[in-house]
Structure 1
Amino acid sequence: MIIDVHCHAWPDAIAERALGPRVPQLPRVGDGKISTLPGVLADSGVDRGVLLGIADTAKYVDGTNRFVARSRGGPLLGFGTIHPDLPVEENLASLRRNGIPGVKLHSLFQGFAYDDRRVWDILEAFGSEIAVIAHVGAGGDRESNERATPGMIRDIVRQFPDLRLVACHFGGYHRLEEAEADLLGENVYLETSWPPTMAELAPERVREIIGRHGADRIVFGSDWPMADPAREIAAVRALGYDDETTAGILGGNFARLMGIAEGEPAPGPLVEEAPRG
């Protein structure tokens, strides 16, 4: 089973507007529409894709989580969003109300740093219940690039050992030296996306990172629509690992982390009954 843990999509009507200004320096390979994503995954040989919802501001948190909840199914799993401008209880209530088992943190777009005490309060409340996929490293301007450093991720996983955390871009997009120093061997899963393609990284360096961290804690992500899932799968296969190790990276490790059985959706927290009246 191949699982792409890093997929972005928006409602068709707003996809172009939402995607356009986000990472203008990177070419896009897709349109970011939720109607397009399932076909891309199928054509790429991906069995399941994780739709990552991101609310840039607090007022969009619950709407984003509702979008994720109604979009999942078929090949799509869903991770939602939080924002520290909302109280911890409101963030948790939105996730539970929509049955969402994990969230995406994206410092570049959400405007908060990972060492913000309010973020830590939310992560503490997650415990082992809510998983986290986090952008780490560069990709924006100088200020936003300092909101999500490998060192901040190290501090989080040491403070919250029960937290199920996936650090995108091998733990440091265009900051691999810091990721190697701060994260290898820590209690964190590292994700493989490196737009426009992981193939731009020297394969011997990627193998060294995986060897030092442990192949059983590496998960596959493409970062669609900024990268092509089929090309990224080929880049993982080109690393030359045996079939068992490759299968783990491409899906088995994330399935184990999230308790996903073959052909079944990822389990989430119980959905709370919506208030009446």
Structure 2
Amino acid sequence: MFIDIHTHAYHPKIADKVLAQLEGHYGIHPVGTGQIDDLLARATAAGLDKVVVHNAATAPAQVVPANNWAIRIHRENPRVISFGTLHPDFPDFERELERLWRNGIKGIKFHADFQGFRLDDHRLWPIFEALSGRFTVMLHVGDRLPPEENNSCPAKVAAILRDFPHLTVIAAHMGGYLHWQYVLEHLAGKDVYIDTSSTLAFIDDNTLSRIVAAHPRERILFGSDYPLFDPGEEIVRLRKRLALRDSQLEALLSAGSALFR
């Protein structure tokens, strides 16, 4: 099963607004509409079987509506694997996790930079404990700010891995968007998945090669970060940047399926 481990799709009522916010923050002009039908059409054109769709509640009051959307698109689209979301200030997170689990949602996304907390905020520790051994966690990692000023960075992920050895973590953006030198220091070779989303257009060849050489290939997952990038175009870029043979590309595209058996 070929899978895009890192995509986003928004409700039609908010899609245009979110795309404008993304372009303003990252300076990247999004592709497509940011809606589920466009994502699935692009996934089909890219030869992908499934997509993992993420969202992140930027306030406690958004957790339930965001998770309702995740449940809805998971139910309505057999090719969609939805991740839910939580916020450290959301009350009774255990009950929300049970609701998600009953509805087939087995992953949680955190985007500390957009959600307004630090990944080393110990209010998250009870949540990580509840997620350990049960849910897969996708962490946005990295940004333009240096690690000491950024809400997320590879060192903070390493601390989570240390304190929660049974937590299954995907560190997005090859372990840290624009923080790749720190990925080599803190995450490469560790028991953590990393994905290729929002990386290939920015990382230099030497750093990319060093991370790939240092990290287990079965823990490197394909992610496009749609709607920032098109899945098919990212697959072409991935093959070229890593000089992958057909069998190697197929192994990378299917690596994420191990998380959902």
| TM-score, length-scaled by structure 2 | 0.90
Q: Please give the residue correspondences for 1:44-63 in structure 2 after superposition, counting only pairs within 5 Å.
A: 44-63=46-65
Picking from 178, 183, 187, the partner of 2:182 is 178
Contact map agreement 2:197 2:224 (CA 8 A) in 1: yes
**One-letter amino acid of the structure 2 residue matched with residue 168 of structure 1:** A
Name the CA distance, whole Å, in 2 between partners of 1:209 and 1:143: 18
| Residue range with higher mean Cα deviation, 58-67 or 238-247 | 238-247
Change (3 A) 1:154 1:144: closer
| Residue range with higher mean Cα deviation, 143-152 or 154-163 | 143-152
Q: Secondary structure at the match of 2:165?
A: coil
Picking from 135, 151, 154, the partner of 1:130 is 135
Give the equivalent residue in structure 2 for 1:8: 8
Deviations 1:149-203 (A, max 9, x none): 10000011111111111001111111111111010111100111126xx144334
**One-letter amino acid of the structure 2 residue matched with residue 11 of structure 1:** H
Give the equivalent residue in structure 2 for 1:234: 236
Contact map agreement 2:34 2:227 (CA 8 A) in 1: yes
Name the CA distance, whole Å, in 2 between partners of 1:144 and 1:55: 24
Name the CA distance, whole Å, in 2 between partners of 1:144 and 1:69: 36
Contact map agreement 1:54 1:106 (CA 8 A) in 2: yes
Structure 2 unaligned segments of length 5 or more: list them.
none
| Residue range with higher mean Cα deviation, 10-19 or 101-110 | 10-19
Contact map agreement 1:62 1:94 (CA 8 A) in 2: no
Structure 1 unaligned segments of length 5 or more: list them.
260-277
**One-letter amino acid of the structure 1 residue matched with residue 137 of structure 2:** V
Name the CA distance, whole Å, in 2 between partners of 1:8 and 1:194: 13
Contact map agreement 1:83 1:91 (CA 8 A) in 2: no
Give the equivalent residue in structure 1 for 2:112: 107
Picking from 73, 76, 86, the partner of 1:82 is 86
Give the equivalent residue in structure 2 for 1:249: 252
Q: Secondary structure at the match of 1:20?
A: helix
Give the equivalent residue in structure 2 for 1:188: 192
| TM-score, length-scaled by structure 1 | 0.85
Name the CA distance, whole Å, in 2 between partners of 1:206 and 1:217: 15
**One-letter amino acid of the structure 1 residue matched with residue 2 of structure 2:** I
**One-letter amino acid of the structure 2 residue matched with residue 6 of structure 1:** H
Structure 1 vs Structure 2: percent identity of aligned residues?
Answer: 35
Name the CA distance, whole Å, in 2 between partners of 1:5 and 1:114: 21
Q: How many residues of Structure 1 are paired with residues of Structure 2 in the alignment?
A: 255
Root mean square deviation of aligned Cα:
2.0
| Residue range with higher mean Cα deviation, 92-101 or 10-19 | 92-101
